[in-house]
Structure 1
Amino acid sequence: MTDRLTQLQICLDQLSDMFFASLSYVDQNHVAVRLTEGDEMLPDPDHNPPSETEFKANLTELTSDIILKTKQILTIIDTLPGVGVSKDEQLKRIENLSQELAEIERLKTQTLQRKEKLGSIVDDLIVQASEGIAQTRD
């Protein structure tokens, strides 16, 4: 599972791709019109645009997809931490989290020191036991 900011970035990338795809579709499939009466219509034998009904249906689908993706983006934005929280409250929370982190680091350091001490004691016991075994075999 990705974090919300990554989800938001992915959705924004998808939305930009949807915009591009929609514009490309419209550009490639629209019915050509004359800008002025004197313009000559040059037919393109390779261009087979969809019917008017099919074109409108596809536009409706593309716009629906864009609207749904936009709603998804807005939902993600609404769930981001800090939305609706003042700057002072956010700074206070950061300070509290920093204090918690410092306390955890202190406990970690103590635990590592205790581990080293216990490791040293175990090493000494192993040496003593091996020396005792060695002496009994002499």
Structure 2
Amino acid sequence: MTDRLTELQFLVDGLAKQFYNSVGNIQLNAPPVSFGYPRRSDENTKRPEISPEEIKRFAVEVVAFCKQIEQYIEYLPGLDSTEEEQINKMKELEKVNYELGQQILLKIENAERLHNLVTSALQEIAQDKLNNLN
């Protein structure tokens, strides 16, 4: 699972891709517009028409991404707290993080001690078996 900012970045990237694809599709399939200039001979070229339903679907998808982004922004921490409260919360989290780190180090030391104990016991057992074979 990723953090909220990373998820928000994924949504913003998704919005950019959706917007890019929507505009690109509309641009590619839109009929040419004459700005008072004579049309070139490519006007007879058949272009797939883009329907109003497709344009509406593109718009709905872009709006859906925007709504998701707004929801993520609303749930970001810190919007309803002061800078001092945020600093105090960070200090508290750092303290908890340090304590948990110390607990992990103790567990690692215990695991290494048990590993060494088991290894030496297995070596003794193996040596006894070898001595009994002779």
Alignment correspondent of 2:25: 25
With over 3 angstroms needed to count, the CA separation of the structure-2 counterparts of 1:113 and 1:22, relative to structure 1, is same
Deviation at 1:6, TM superposition (A): 5.1
With over 3 angstroms needed to count, the CA separation of the structure-2 counterparts of 1:128 and 1:58, relative to structure 1, is closer
TM-score normalised by the chain length of structure 2: 0.68
With over 3 angstroms needed to count, the CA separation of the structure-2 counterparts of 1:50 and 1:129, relative to structure 1, is closer
With over 3 angstroms needed to count, the CA separation of the structure-2 counterparts of 1:110 and 1:42, relative to structure 1, is same
Alignment correspondent of 2:38: 40
Q: Sequence identity of aligned pairs in percent?
A: 15
Q: Separation in 1 of the partners of 2:121 and 2:48?
A: 84
Deviation at 1:100, TM superposition (A): 0.5
Question: Which one has a bigger Cα radius of gyration?
Answer: 1
User: Gapped runs of 5+ residues in structure 1?
Assistant: none
Matched, 1:58 2:70: no
Post-superposition CA distance 1:93-126 (Å, at most 9, x none): 1331222022211221122113202321342244
Q: Separation in 2 of the partners of 1:49 and 1:119?
A: 73
Aligned length: 127
2:31/2:47 contact within 8 Å kept? no
Matched, 1:72 2:71: no
Within 5 Å, give how 1:1-138 maps onto structure 2: 2-4=1-3, 7-35=7-35, 38-42=36-40, 44-48=43-47, 50=49, 54=51, 56-78=52-74, 82=77, 84=79, 86-128=86-128, 130-131=130-131, 133-134=132-133
SS at match of 1:39: coil
Deviation at 1:26, TM superposition (A): 2.6
User: Gapped runs of 5+ residues in structure 2?
Assistant: none
| RMSD (CA atoms) | 3.0
1:11/1:73 contact within 8 Å kept? yes
TM-score normalised by the chain length of structure 1: 0.67
1:31/1:49 contact within 8 Å kept? no
Q: Separation in 2 of the partners of 1:69 and 1:78?
A: 14
